[in-house]
């Protein structure tokens, strides 16, 4: 009878049976009598055991000489094994080499982060990146599912644009025939047009910002979800945001138990963040809280990393900071009904020091006001003519938000640095590999 070729994730269904799996060798240890092979295949990890007394000499020799990251088919019987961290192991009875590996650079010894990211194309094969990027995949699928179930239309914003709604200092220019285009830093304005056509829309794609300082929370290329809802006020938008965050956290807790364990991320703690509603604190009160805790911050200034980290440690749950000063927010945010100095905005902050993961607002609906705001901010009216049209032809209340995918993964996976959350991170100092 032909031996079945399976994948490691299916191993639990084959206990007591002999199967064949295509694998890479992570590590190997043993004595002259037994060899323990740490194996991976992309779907999971397991151990293969080769016992010299049970196999012919050639197989044992081969096993003993396998090199790190060489690839082969391994055949053997599956056993349950409570001692191995993955619960199963294989008693190896055959190895068929596929690809040799000589001098693999990421050895079991400790390596510096710079070295690991110089080797990112290989480092991806190791357990920590594996776990984090599996969680990334779960979150991405969760985002599509959440918006689909909630009646949103996927609406793609362009990546090449001629406008700079969040300011020009962080833009990457690109030659575009005889003019300059910019890589999109947000799809925000475009999804507003989408909301006027389809009601509730979201985009989900790469965005680019020339962040000139290196922090643990900024990439120059990152993925953003812009959601926009016609006929919805800020409170309804906050409701969508917190339901989405709770849903995504719950999905990871339910579907990524192994990965969370590999990362040492406490699932119970994560589950505690699904309790709704999230607290809302005004910018005014957040500034007072910071001042009371010896921060030298004046009303009117945006929070930097230290302020965000403090606030995000103070609250034991995700929370919204609402109604930021108008002067530090984008031109399109809606005026407060009774105060001229703040806008109806909200940033969602993650606890444990992780900080901002969402920025959002209600949008102003008034043509003349927005035109004046563009002029005040020295933005080119010609580039925004189409945007102003949205206020000319049936302007309605609408609200939306932008979620940074990698920021959210960093928080859920409990990563110290955002570079861990994307396959090939781009930062001030890194464009390779
Ligand atoms: P920050 O204050 O941290 O610089 P921001 O206020 O400039 O962020 P927004 O313009 O509000 O960011 O963008 C929406 C979301 O995109 C942010 O809440 C964050 O999750 C994410 N984001 C912004 N800049 C970056 C970046 N450089 N790298 C990764 N994610 C980012
Ligand atoms: Mg920024
Ligand atoms: Mg911010
Ligand atoms: Mg923001």
Number of domains in the chain: 2
Claim to verify: residue 206 and residue 90 sit in the same structural domain: no
Among the candidates 68, 99, 130, a domain finishes at 99
Complex ipTM value: 0.99
Instruction: Give residue 170 CA to ligand 2 midpoint distance, Å.
Output: 9
Q: By residue range, what is the domain housing residue 299?
A: 120-421
Q: Are residues 392 and 262 in the same domain?
A: yes
Domain membership of residue 426 (yes or no) is no
Specify whether 74 is located in the same domain as 149. no
CA distance 365 to 390: 9
Under DSSP, the state recorded for 159 is: S
356 with 234, same domain: the answer is: yes
pLDDT, position 289: 97
My answer on whether 235 and 355 are in the same domain is yes
**Nearest atom in ligand 1 to 303's CA:** 2
Q: Which of 395, 387, 398 is nearest to 360 (CA)?
A: 398
Q: Does the CB atom of residue 219 touch ligand 1 within 6 A?
A: yes
Residues 95, 148 within the same domain: no
**Same domain membership, residue 179 and residue 30:** no
CB burial of residue 292 (10 Å; 0-12, 13-18, 19+)? exposed
The residue nearest atom 31 of ligand 1, judged by CA position, is 404
Is the CB of 226 within 6 Å of ligand 1? Answer: no
Same domain membership, residue 276 and residue 398: yes
Q: For the segment 216-257, what is each residue's pLDDT rounded down to a tens digit?
A: 999 999 999 999 999 999 999 999 999 999 999 999 999 999
359 CA closest ligand 1 atom index: 11
pLDDT of residue 1: 75
Q: Which atom of ligand 1 is nearest to the CA of 418?
A: 29
Q: Is the CB of 329 under 6 A from ligand 1?
A: no
Judge whether 156 and 194 are in contact, CB under 8 Å: no
Number of Cβ atoms within 10 Å of the Cβ of 109: 5
Mutate to test the pocket of ligand 1, among 168, 345, 402, 412 (most ligand atoms within 8 A of CB): 402
In a domain, residue 231? The reply is yes
**Is residue 185 a part of any domain in this protein?**
yes
Instruction: Tell me the CA distances in angstroms from 287 to 169, 281, 300, one per residue in order.
Output: 26, 10, 9
CA 304 to ligand 4 center in whole angstroms: 11
381 domain-assigned = yes
Where are the alpha helices (H) located in 67-187, listed in sequence order?
Answer: 113-118, 120-123, 127-149
Read off the CATH number of the domain in which 183 is found.
3.30.930.10
pTM reported for the whole predicted model: 0.96
Does a structural domain hold residue 104? no
Token pair recorded at residue 157 = 């914003």
Question: Which residue numbers in the chain have pLDDT < 50?
Answer: none
Ligand 1 neighbour 49 (Cβ under 6 A): no
- pLDDT at position 167 is 66
360 Cβ closer than 6 Å to some ligand 1 atom: no
- Judge whether 428 lies within some domain: no
Q: Do residues 39 and 155 share a domain? A: no
**Which residue, 64, 99, 134, sits at the end of a domain?**
99
Are residues 210 and 316 located together in one domain of the fold?
Answer: yes
Indicate the residue among 42, 66, 99 that finishes a domain: 99
Give, using CA atoms, the residue closest to atom 16 of ligand 1: 404
Distance 315 CA to ligand 1 centre (A): 20
Q: Are residues 268 and 389 in the same domain?
A: yes
Give a yes or no: residue 430 inside a domain: no
At residue 317's C-alpha, the angle toward residues 352 and 236, to 5°, is 130
**How many angstroms separate the alpha carbon of residue 356 from the centre of ligand 4?**
7
Are 226 and 93 part of one and the same domain? no
């Amino acid at each position: 009878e032909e031996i079945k070729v399976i994948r490691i994730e299916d191993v639990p269904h084959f206990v007591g049976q002999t199967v064949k799996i295509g694998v890479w060798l992570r590590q190997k240890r043993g004595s002259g009598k037994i060899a323990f092979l740490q194996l991976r295949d992309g779907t999971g990890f397991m151990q293969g055991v080769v016992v010299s007394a049970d196999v012919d000499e050639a197989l044992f020799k081969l096993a003993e000489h396998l090199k790190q990251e060489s690839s082969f088919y391994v055949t053997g019987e599956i056993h349950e094994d409570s001692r191995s961290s993955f619960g199963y192991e294989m008693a190896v009875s055959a190895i068929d080499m596929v690809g040799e590996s000589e001098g693999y650079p990421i050895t079991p010894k400790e390596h510096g982060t710079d070295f690991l990211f110089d080797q990112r194309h290989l480092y991806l094969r190791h357990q920590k990146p594996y776990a984090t990027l599996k969680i990334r995949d779960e979150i991405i699928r969760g985002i599509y599912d959440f918006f689909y179930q909630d009646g949103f239309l996927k609406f793609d914003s362009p990546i090449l644009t001629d406008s700079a709604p969040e300011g020009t200092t962080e833009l990457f220019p690109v030659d575009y025939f005889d003019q300059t285009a910019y890589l999109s830093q947000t799809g925000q304005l475009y999804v507003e047009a989408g909301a006027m056509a389809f009601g509730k829309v979201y985009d989900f794609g790469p965005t680019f910002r020339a962040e000139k300082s290196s922090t643990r929370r900024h990439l120059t290329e990152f993925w953003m979800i812009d959601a926009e809802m016609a006929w919805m006020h800020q409170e309804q938008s906050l409701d969508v945001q917190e339901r989405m965050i709770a849903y995504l956290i719950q999905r990871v807790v339910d579907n990524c138990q192994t990965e969370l364990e590999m990362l040492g991320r406490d699932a119970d703690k994560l589950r505690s963040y699904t309790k709704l509603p999230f607290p809302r604190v005004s910018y005014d009160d957040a500034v007072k809280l910071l001042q009371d805790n010896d921060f030298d911050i004046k009303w009117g200034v945006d929070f930097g990393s230290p302020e965000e980290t403090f606030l995000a440690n103070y609250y034991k749950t995700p929370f919204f900071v609402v109604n930021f000063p108008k002067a530090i927010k984008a031109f399109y945010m809606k005026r407060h009904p009774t105060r001229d100095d703040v806008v109806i905005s909200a940033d969602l902050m993650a606890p444990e020091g992780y900080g901002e993961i969402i920025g959002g607002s209600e949008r102003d609906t008034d043509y003349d006001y927005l035109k004046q705001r563009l002029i005040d901010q020295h933005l080119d009216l010609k580039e925004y003519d189409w945007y102003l049209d949205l206020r000319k032809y049936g302007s309605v209340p609408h609200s939306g938000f932008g979620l940074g995918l990698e920021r959210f993964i960093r928080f859920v996976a409990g990563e110290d640095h955002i570079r861990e959350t994307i396959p090939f991170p781009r930062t001030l100092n890194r464009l390779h590999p």
